[in-house]
Amino acid sequence: MSRPAKIRIDLSSPVPAYRQIVDAIRVLLVEGALPPGTPLPSVRRLATDLGVHFNTVSEAYRQLAEEGWIDLRHGRGALVVERGAPQPAAPERLQEFRTQLRNLIAQMRAAGVAPARIAAELRSLEETLKP
């Protein structure tokens, strides 16, 4: 990952920093910005860039490795791996995602984002899902 500046975290957020890092990197992976074979910055480098403790980045990298996104090798760093197509999500999992999405939309509304703007954002994101 040559440009760690694409990852942004909010240290005042109630979401733990490691989770924000995992989510940000996962977005880059899903969108194809980090193709297989791409090396991620070293733990210490990314920690310095983001202003967090290296254990925070280590935890994020471990989570991504457990999910099968990256290969972690001591002394070699983290490397994006090729992933096969995931199995279709179970109906219960889809319901969990729907609930999370509804909660996020409620947060946006509570923060003053107009419904039309939310809908426009969702349409824009839909475009990134098309093959």
At 6, the pLDDT band (50, 70, 90 cuts) reads confident
Q: Which CATH architecture has domain 4-80?
A: Orthogonal Bundle (1.10)
Q: What is the pLDDT of residues 25-69, one digit of tens each?
A: 999 998 889 999 999 999 999 999 999 999 999 999 999 999 999
Domain with CATH 1.10.10.10 in the chain: 4-80
How confident is the model over 10-25, as a mean pLDDT? 94
Please state, in angstroms and rounded to a whole number, the distance separating the CA atoms of residues 78 and 71.
6
The structure's pTM equals 0.74
Q: Specify which residues 79 forms β-bridges with.
A: 39, 71
Sign of CA dihedral 46, 50, 53, 55: negative
At 131, the pLDDT band (50, 70, 90 cuts) reads low
Q: What is the pLDDT of residues 68-105, one digit of tens each?
A: 999 998 778 899 999 877 788 899 999 999 999 999 99
Buried b / exposed e along 84-121 (16+ C-beta atoms within 10 A): eeeeeeeeeeeeeeeeeeeeebeeeeeeeeeeeeeeee
DSSP letter string over the chain? ---GGG----TTSSS-HHHHHHHHHHHHHHTTSS-TTPBPPPHHHHHHHHTS-HHHHHHHHHHHHHTTSEEEETTTEEEE---PPPPPPPHHHHHHHHHHHHHHHHHHHHTT--HHHHHHHHHHHHHHH--
pLDDT at 118 over 70: yes
